[in-house]
A and B are shown apart, each in its own frame.
Chain A
Amino acid sequence: MGGMPVDSRYGQQFKKGALELVLLCLIARGETYGYEILTALDRQGGRIFGGAREGSVYPVLYRLEETGLISSRIRAEGGRSRKYYAITPAGQAALTERTAFWRSFSQCVDGFLQDEEDAR
């Protein structure tokens, strides 16, 4: 699977849009915290989101919280604090909606690409 590197400007724009959806999806699985989220991205993200850095992830988490799609609470654990994120009902609804959008979006684009491939 060669081709365009995911760090190109084109790839970056795509990743930004999808990262919100991916994070919402991860948090919907169950209450989680920053480091766990980064680890999950590393583990499952492959070439796209594997190694996604704090600089990309944290701002998206803030935006999700600001718009009420996730909530956070801070637990003090032995001299340190850890912030736990959970999905809200609004977030659950948004996840369903955006997943549906993603599916129809990619189906549509696939359709065009398939026609193109068939034509060759």
Chain B
Amino acid sequence: MREQYLRAVRRLLPRKVRQAVVRDLEERFDAAADHGESEADVIARLGTPEEFAAPFREGWTPALWPPLLLAGLGLLVSAACGLGLWLQAQLGGEDVGVIGGADGPTRIYVTSGGVSPLWLLLALGLALLAAGVLWLRRRGLQR
């Protein structure tokens, strides 16, 4: 109960006061235990996590530029890798001939073996983009 409450409050608090307020709450719960107060009693006094965190959020709006920056970076990396991979596909192969009949000939290219590191970097770029978007969504909801 206590850990759940602390987690919920922590998520709502501005970074500036987060550590101090959570520490104070932990002290409060410890004091409760010492005086025969239950965790439920304390939580009843504190109110919901939203109610308790409200005074600390007054006049604070979470900045959107950090998640935007991350998403932008992810987009940039993904786009660069996508372009690189496309270029690689255009320039890389050695045309060794055609197989198949008149109804569906297939050109065969030979490229160097192994997975291009660009795929890895593309995956990283997409991951950064996804992380940035999720973070942006969370901050947007917090406002």
Contacts and interface: CB of A to CB of B under 8 A. Distances in A.
B27 A54 contact: no
A80 B27 contact: yes
Given A53-B45, A53-B46, A53-B47, A58 B30 contact: no
Which of A33, A58, A59, A81 is packed against the most chain B CB atoms within 10 Å?
A: A58
Interface in B99-129: none
Interface residues of B, number: 19
Interface residues of A, number: 14
Contacts of B27: 33-35, 80-83
Interface string B22-33: 011011101100
A30 interface: no
A81 B23 contact: yes
B17 interface: yes
Give the dominant DSSP class at B's interface. helix
B142 to A, nearest CB: 19
Given A34-B24, A80-B30, A82-B27, A54 B46 contact: yes
A62 B23 CA distance: 13
A62 B18 CA distance: 12
A2 interface: no
A35 B31 contact: yes
B21 A83 contact: no
Contacts of A80: 26-27, 30
Interface stretch (B48-56, B65-73, B132-140): B48-56
Given A35-B28, A80-B30, A55 B23 contact: no
Interface string A52-89: 01110011001000000000001000001111000000
Interface string B5-45: 00000000000010011011011101100010000000001
A55 B31 contact: no
Closest 3 CB pairs of A and B: A35-B31, A59-B55, A80-B30
Interface of A: 33-35, 53-55, 58-59, 62, 74, 80-83
6 contacts: A54-B28, A55-B47, A55-B55, A58-B21, A59-B55, A83-B24
